[in-house]
Chains A and B, each alone.
Chain A
Amino acid sequence: MQIKVRLFATLREGRGKELIMDLEPGLNPQLVIDLLKIKRDEVAILLVNGMDGKFDQQLIDGDTVSIFPPVGGG
C-alpha cells in the first residue's frame, strides 16, 4: 500500500517535507516513525488523515500521516 507522510518543523531536517512510502498492508504509524528514525518522544502530534492518530492503528492505502514535534501556541 502507498501512504503519504507529512513532516513539520524540526522533523523536516534531513528528511524533507513530504514522503510517499510503499508499505506492507496493515502496518502502523509506529513503523513509519521507526523507518524515518524519529523517536517516539519527538512526536507531539500524530494525525492520520487530519484526525488524532494512534501509533498502533492499522494504516490503509492512501492514508496521510502527519507528524509534528512539540511546537507552539498562539
Chain B
Amino acid sequence: MHGYRGKILRINLSDKTWKLEKLDHTEALKYIGGRGFGSKIMFDEVDPNIDAFDPANKVIIATGPMTGTPTPAGGRYMVVTKSPLTGTIASSNSGGYWGAEMKFAGYDMIILEGKSEKPVSIFIEDDKIEFRDAGHLWGKTTIETTNELMKEAPEKAKVLCIGPAGENLSKIAAVMNDLNRAAGRSGVGAVVGSKNLKAIVIKGSSKPTVADPDALKDVVKRGRAQIKENGVTGAGLPTYGTNVLVNIINEQGVFPTRNFQETYFDKAEEVSGETMSEQFLLKRESCFACPIACGRYTKADDIETGGPEYESVWAFSAACGVSDMKSAIKANFWANEMGLDTISAGVTVATAMELYEKGIIKDDELDGLGLKFGDGDSMVEWVKKLGRRDGELASKMAEGSYRLADAYGHPDLSMTVKKQELPAYDPRGIKGQGLQYATSNRGGCHVRGYLISPEILGLPEKLDRLEIKGKPGWVKIFQDLTAFIDSCGMCLFTSFALNADDYAEMFSAVTGEKHTAEDILKAGDRIWNLERIWNLKAGIDPSQDKLPKRLMEEPIPSGPSKGHLPRLPEMLPLYYQERGWDENGIPTPEKLKELGVPS
C-alpha cells in the first residue's frame, strides 16, 4: 500500500481506549481519502439524524494519500463530522504541518468517538498513544494552549487544538493547528469541544512510501515548474497573498459590503493586498511542501500574527463596513485565539450590526460596546466576547448569523446558505459562484467549487461572470475536481496551475493505482453524491439549495454590477440534469449505481 499508511487509529474518549484498524484499501481508493473516505465512514457509522453534539457523533481527522508526500502543497488534512451549524456533513480542510505529521506518525485517519468526562488532550508519538488531563488548558486561547502543550511535547511535535469557542460549543468554532491554521468552517471545533477534547499533539518519524518514486519525481518537478510559471501561483499569491483579491472583486462591484447591503466598498484600497504588503506585512509563510507560500504574517500595533487572508480581511472589513486594516488584523488574531471561523465570525458580527442599525438590537443589549457598521474597535471586542459567550448578545452571536437573526425574528437578515455564512463574493454578479453556493454540500462556501477562477481570474479560461449559459456544467466539474483534490490531501490552490491530468498522474505515481483524469473526476462525482445522500438522510432537502432572500430578490443596488440577480431558478434544474439527478434534485438510483454509491 503506497501513499496511504494503511492504519486507522480509533479513539474512544468515553473510556480512554484506542485500537488500530487496517485501512480498507479498496474502499480508500474508491473514495480517495480525506474528505471522501471520511464521509464514507460517517455514512457507514453515524446516524445522520443525531444531534451534532451527541457523543454518538464522530470526528474523523483524515489525511489523503498525497498528504506528507513530495506532491506540491501535499500537506492537507480534513476534519469530517456532522456540523452543528448546518446539520450537513462537514469537512473542513486545513494546511500547515499537522496533517503531514499525522501521516509521519503512521495514520491515515484518527476517528474520535464518545465523550470524555473531563477535558483531555491526546499525545501521539508514532505508535505511543497517551491521554493527559487538560483541565489546566480549558479556557486558554489557542496560542496559550499550544505553548503550554509544547512544554511537555517531544521536540518538533505539532499541535491541533480548539480555543474557548470550541469549548463553549459555538456553532462557528474552528479546529486550529500550528498556531494559526484552521479547519475553519461548519463548526467542527464545537464538536471537538462537545467531546471535551482540547488538543492532539502529534509527532511521527517515518514517511509514507510512494509506488513509483521516479515517476513521482518527474511529475512533481513538472508540476512545481507549472506552479512557478503560472502568474497566479508563481507571482500573484507569493507576492500579495490571497488578499490581492480585495481590489479585483471590489472593482467589479461584487465585494459584499455592510452585510451584503451593498457590493462596492469605497474604502477597499485601505484593506487591500497592496496596502497590506506595503504597510503591515512582516513576512510570508508557507505550509508543508508548498511552493506557493500565500500565507502572510502581519503586524498591527502590538499584535504580530499569521494571516489574515482574503476572506478573513473581508469578513472583518467590508462585511462590517470597517476600513481599518489594523482592526481587521486584530479581529483575525482574536478569532484565531478563540478558535473561531473568521468568515462566520465576521459575517455574524455584520448581521448583528444590521440588526442594530435597524433598531432590532437595542442599546441596552450591547454591554457598553458599540455595534455600528464601521466601528472596528468594537468589532474586535465582539469577536473576543463571542468566543467566550461573554454576555447574552455575544452568546447569541456564538450560535452563528442565522440563529442570531432568527432569535430576533429576522432570519432573512442572515446571509447564509444552509445556515452557513457566505464568503466574500456577491453571487448576484458572479452567476456560477452563486449556483455553487446554493448547491454546496456544506452550505455557504466558496471552496467547494471556486468558480471565481474562471469567472473572475480567467483560469483555465475566461467566462463571462454575468452569463448563465454553460455554468451548471462548469459548477459540476469544479465541484467534482475539488472533491478529489480535497480528498487526496493537496491544496486547492495548486489547481490554478495544475489540471485533472496532472493530479491523475501524481495520484498514480503515489499510490501505484493507474488513474486518468476521467477516473479522478468520477471519484469526485462519487464523493459529491455520497455527501448529498448523507445530507438528504439528515433532512437537508433540495428546497435548501437556495440563496438568502435578499440576494434572490433584491438586485445589486449600485456600482458596476448594478441591477443583477443570481438567476438561480434558471440554472438549478440544469445543474440537477448535469448531475444526473431527478428534477427534484434527488440522485437517481441509476446514477448512484453507476458511481457505486450506497443509497
Question: A residues touching B (Cβ–Cβ < 8 Å)?
Answer: 6, 8-10, 12, 17, 44-45, 47, 49-52, 66, 68-74
Whether the pair A44, B458 counts as a contact (CB closer than 8 A) is yes
- Number of residues from B at the complex interface, CB < 8 A: 42
Query: Which residues of the other chain, B, contact A9 by a CB distance below 8 angstroms?
Result: 236, 239-240, 244, 273-274
**B87-95, B414-422, B448-456: which lies at the A interface?**
B448-456
Please tell me if B336 contacts chain A, counting CB pairs below 8 Å.
no
Whether the pair B560, A50 counts as a contact (CB closer than 8 A) is yes
Q: B236's contact among A47, A52, A66, A69, by CB below 8 Å, is which?
A: A69
A8 to B450, CA, bound (A): 22
Whether the pair B561, A71 counts as a contact (CB closer than 8 A) is no
Whether the pair A70, B251 counts as a contact (CB closer than 8 A) is no
Contact of A73 with B452 at beta-carbon distance under 8 Å, contacts A9-B239, A68-B248 already known? yes
User: Which chain B residue has the least Cβ–Cβ distance from A50?
Assistant: B560
Contact of A73 with B493 at beta-carbon distance under 8 Å, contacts A9-B239, A45-B456, A52-B465 already known? yes
A44 to B496, CA, bound (A): 13
Whether the pair A70, B235 counts as a contact (CB closer than 8 A) is yes
Interface of B is mostly: helix
Q: How far in angstroms is the closest Cβ of chain A from B500?
A: 18
User: Which chain B residue has the least Cβ–Cβ distance from A48?
Assistant: B560
Chain B residues 213 to 261 lying within 8 A of chain A, measured CB to CB, are 230-233, 235-237, 239-245, 247-248, 251-253
Whether the pair A71, B232 counts as a contact (CB closer than 8 A) is yes
A12 to B274, CA, bound (A): 9
What would 17 A/B residue contacts be, using CB atoms closer than 8 Å? A9-B274, A12-B274, A45-B248, A45-B456, A45-B458, A52-B464, A69-B231, A70-B235, A71-B240, A71-B244, A72-B240, A72-B241, A72-B245, A72-B273, A72-B294, A73-B493, A74-B245
Please tell me if B310 contacts chain A, counting CB pairs below 8 Å.
yes
Q: How far in angstroms is the closest Cβ of chain A from B55?
A: 36
Please tell me if B462 contacts chain A, counting CB pairs below 8 Å.
yes
Whether the pair A71, B311 counts as a contact (CB closer than 8 A) is no
A17 to B278, CA, bound (A): 13
Please tell me if B559 contacts chain A, counting CB pairs below 8 Å.
yes
Q: B311's contact among A6, A10, A49, A74, by CB below 8 Å, is which?
A: A74
Contact of A10 with B239 at beta-carbon distance under 8 Å, contacts A45-B456, A71-B232 already known? yes
Chain B residues 453 to 493 lying within 8 A of chain A, measured CB to CB, are 453, 456-458, 462, 464-465, 493
A47 to B457, CA, bound (A): 12
A69 to B253, CA, bound (A): 19
Q: B560's contact among A6, A12, A51, by CB below 8 Å, is which?
A: A51
Query: Which residues of the other chain, B, contact A73 by a CB distance below 8 angstroms?
Result: 232, 237, 242, 245, 450, 452-453, 457, 493, 496
Q: How far in angstroms is the closest Cβ of chain A from B248?
A: 6
Contact of A74 with B242 at beta-carbon distance under 8 Å, contacts A45-B458, A52-B462, A52-B465 already known? yes
